[in-house]
Structure 1
Amino acid sequence: MPYLPETRILLGTQLVFNVGFYAVIPFLAGAMGGDFGLDAAAVGLVLGARTFSQQGMFLFGGLLADRWGARRAILTGCLVRIAGYATLAAASDFTLFLLGAVLTGAGGALFSPALESRLSHADRAEHTDERGPGKGRRSVFVWLAITGEMGALAGPLLGAALLGWGFDAALAAGIVVFVAVTVLLWFRLPVAPGAVSAGAPKTSGAGKQEAAPAHSNGALGCLKNRRFVAFCLLASTNMVAYNQMYFAFPLELERRGLDASWLAMLFLLASVLTLLLQLPVAAAGQRLGPGRTMSAGFLLVGAALAAAAVTSVDAGSVPAEASGSAPGVSSPVVSVALMAGIVGALILGHMLLTPTILSLIPRFIPAKGPASGRGAYYGLSATCGGVAVLAGNAVLGWLLDLTGRHHWWPGTPWLPMIGLAVLAALTLPRLLQGLHRGTTQGSAAAAPEATAPEARARPN
Structure 2
Amino acid sequence: MRATLFPLDGPLRFLLLSSFLIPLGSFMVLPFMSVFLHERLGMGLGAVGVVLAVASLVQFSGGIVGGALADRIGLRRTMLWALIIRTAGFVGLLFGLRWPPLAVGALVLTCCGAALYLPANKAYLVHGVDDERRPAFLAAGNAALNAGMAVGPLVAGPFVLSSPGWLFVSVTALFVLVAAGHARLPAARAGESGGQSAGQGLLAGVAALPFAANALAFYLYFHFQHFLAVYAVERATSTFYSLVLLLCFTLVIVVQPLASGLIRRMPYATALAAGFAGLAAGLAVLAIGTRPALLAGGALITLGDIVLFLKNDLEALHRSPRSDAVVFGQQRLAAGLGACASGVLGGQVYGLTEQAGDTGWFWLLAAAQCVLLPLLLLALRERPARHPTPLMTTTKEH
Q: TM-score, normalised by structure 2?
A: 0.78
> Distance between the aligned counterparts of 1:81 and 1:24, measured in 2?
13
> Distance between the aligned counterparts of 1:249 and 1:53, measured in 2?
21
CA drift at 1:15: 0.8
> Distance between the aligned counterparts of 1:33 and 1:243, measured in 2?
18
> Distance between the aligned counterparts of 2:339 and 2:113, measured in 1?
20
1:120, 1:359 within 8 Å by CA — same for their partners in 2? no
Q: Which moved more, 1:283-292 or 1:138-147?
A: 283-292
Which of residues 210, 230, 235 is equivalent to 2:209? 230
Q: Residue 414 of structure 1 aligns to which amino acid in structure 2?
A: A
Q: Residue 370 of structure 2 aligns to which amino acid in structure 1?
A: M
1:137/1:113 Cα in 2 relative to 1: closer, same or farther (>3 Å)?
closer
Q: Residue 8 of structure 2 aligns to which amino acid in structure 1?
A: L
> Distance between the aligned counterparts of 1:99 and 1:250, measured in 2?
21
1:418 and 2:368 are equivalent in the alignment:
no
CA drift at 1:79: 0.7
> Distance between the aligned counterparts of 1:248 and 1:27, measured in 2?
10
2:53, 2:344 within 8 Å by CA — same for their partners in 1? no
SS in 2 for 1:121: coil
1:189/1:175 Cα in 2 relative to 1: closer, same or farther (>3 Å)?
farther
Unmatched 5+ stretches in structure 2: none
2:154, 2:242 within 8 Å by CA — same for their partners in 1? no
Which of residues 293, 298, 302 is equivalent to 1:343? 298
1:380 and 2:330 are equivalent in the alignment:
yes
1:39 and 2:37 are equivalent in the alignment:
no
Q: Residue 363 of structure 1 aligns to which amino acid in structure 2?
A: H
Q: Residue 180 of structure 2 aligns to which amino acid in structure 1?
A: V
Which of residues 267, 272, 278 is equivalent to 2:256? 278
1:14, 1:144 within 8 Å by CA — same for their partners in 2? yes
> Distance between the aligned counterparts of 1:251 and 1:23, measured in 2?
16
Aligned to 1:121: 127
> Distance between the aligned counterparts of 2:337 and 2:12, measured in 1?
30
1:31/1:236 Cα in 2 relative to 1: closer, same or farther (>3 Å)?
closer
CA drift at 1:232: 0.9
SS in 2 for 1:4: coil
Q: Residue 147 of structure 1 aligns to which amino acid in structure 2?
A: A
1:358 and 2:313 are equivalent in the alignment:
yes
Which of residues 182, 186, 194 is equivalent to 2:179? 182
CA drift at 1:337: 4.4
Q: Residue 184 of structure 1 aligns to which amino acid in structure 2?
A: G
CA drift at 1:345: 2.4
1:219 and 2:201 are equivalent in the alignment:
yes
Deviation per CA, 1:19-57, whole angstroms, max 9, x where unpaired?
A: 1212233455666777xx743159837655543432342
1:28/1:194 Cα in 2 relative to 1: closer, same or farther (>3 Å)?
closer
> Distance between the aligned counterparts of 1:116 and 1:357, measured in 2?
14
> Distance between the aligned counterparts of 1:211 and 1:242, measured in 2?
32
Unmatched 5+ stretches in structure 1: 128-133, 196-209, 314-331, 367-371, 447-460
| 1:181-260 alignment runs, 5 A limit | 181-192=178-189, 194=191, 213-215=196-198, 218-222=200-204, 225=206, 228-247=207-226, 258-260=235-237
1:142, 1:279 within 8 Å by CA — same for their partners in 2? yes
Aligned to 1:325: none
1:402/1:96 Cα in 2 relative to 1: closer, same or farther (>3 Å)?
closer
CA drift at 1:385: 1.6
CA drift at 1:154: 1.9
Q: Which moved more, 1:67-76 or 1:98-107?
A: 98-107
| 1:93-112 alignment runs, 5 A limit | 93-112=99-118
Deviation per CA, 1:152-171, whole angstroms, max 9, x where unpaired?
A: 12222333576699333222
CA drift at 1:80: 0.6
